[in-house]
Amino acid sequence: MQRPSVLRHIRLVLASDSPYAREEFEETVTTGAQFELAGTCTWREVLPCCERLRPDLVVLDGSVQPAIGWTDIVRRLRELDQDSKIALLLGGAAGEVSVEELDAVLSAEFGITAILEALQVLVSGAVVSVGPRPAVPRDDDLVSYYDARERVSALTSREREILLLITDGLSNRAVSSRLRISPDTVKEHVSRILGKLEVASRLEAAVVAVRAEFG
């Protein structure tokens, strides 16, 4: 079975003032097949680092201390004109930060493995905002490959079609246009998809699809 497009090799740069966070990313990315850690640096070093390494994805870690001045850093990263995706990692309520200047806002409370899963989806073109919730997924309870395959198998052919489009980062409106069905119908399908996959958001549905190698 062909893997979805989000499962391609991704060059990542992590900017963090926490040596522990940089070490954790290095260890986790090294064991994964979808990411190449192009480099790590402090926030102060991120501009020259990205200018030199030209990553696909820049993760700005603001989980240890307040992410002060990130808007200026993001603006200057955009001026490099490298088409890099930019994600901001926070330690608290990610939903309180606007994503207008960013491609993703993620909560560190999800755990690094779940964050990397979400970043795979992000590279597909989705705009992602993930905040903490009561039941936070950790490394030991993430959806397994076989569990994900079983959940996806419960979907109808139309639901599978819509799940693929969600995984490619399409909004409900874009799915409606692509399939020539009403937005309300898409919304109903998405609601059923989330229920069958036992997830709470479109992002989590896409992560299950990635885990299931669905495509």
CB-based contacts of 169, cutoff 8 Å, min separation 6: 121, 124, 125, 126, 127
On the question of pLDDT at 188 being above 90, the answer is: yes
**Do 134 and 31 lie in a common domain?**
yes
Q: What is the pLDDT of residues 61-87, one digit of tens each?
A: 887 666 667 888 999 999 998 888 898
Indicate the pLDDT class of residue 215, thresholds 50, 70 and 90. Answer: low
Residue 27 within any structural domain of the chain = yes
**pLDDT, the chain, mean:** 77
Map residue 109 onto helix, strand or coil. helix
**Do 162 and 96 lie in a common domain?**
no
**Do 18 and 107 lie in a common domain?**
yes
Q: Which of 11-25, 50-64, 94-108, 176-190 has the lowest mean pLDDT?
A: 94-108
Q: What is the CATH number of the domain that holds 38?
A: 3.40.50.2300
pTM comes to 0.56
Q: Determine the structural domain holding residue 41 and report its residue range.
A: 10-141
User: Across residues 103-125, what is the average pLDDT?
Assistant: 75
**Do 84 and 96 lie in a common domain?**
yes
Contact present, 152 and 212 (Cβ < 8 Å):
yes
Cα–Cα distances in Å, from 148 out to 94, 113, 144, 210? 26, 16, 6, 9
- Domains of the chain: total: 2
- The whole-number pLDDT of residue 68 equals 66
Q: What is the pLDDT of residues 14-52, one digit of tens each?
A: 999 888 788 888 888 876 657 888 999 999 999 999 999
Map residue 100 onto helix, strand or coil. coil
Residue 116 within any structural domain of the chain = yes
**Do 94 and 54 lie in a common domain?**
yes
On the question of pLDDT at 3 being above 50, the answer is: no
Terminal-residue alpha carbon distance, the chain: 7
Q: Which of 76-85, 86-95, 127-136, 140-149 has the lowest mean pLDDT?
A: 127-136
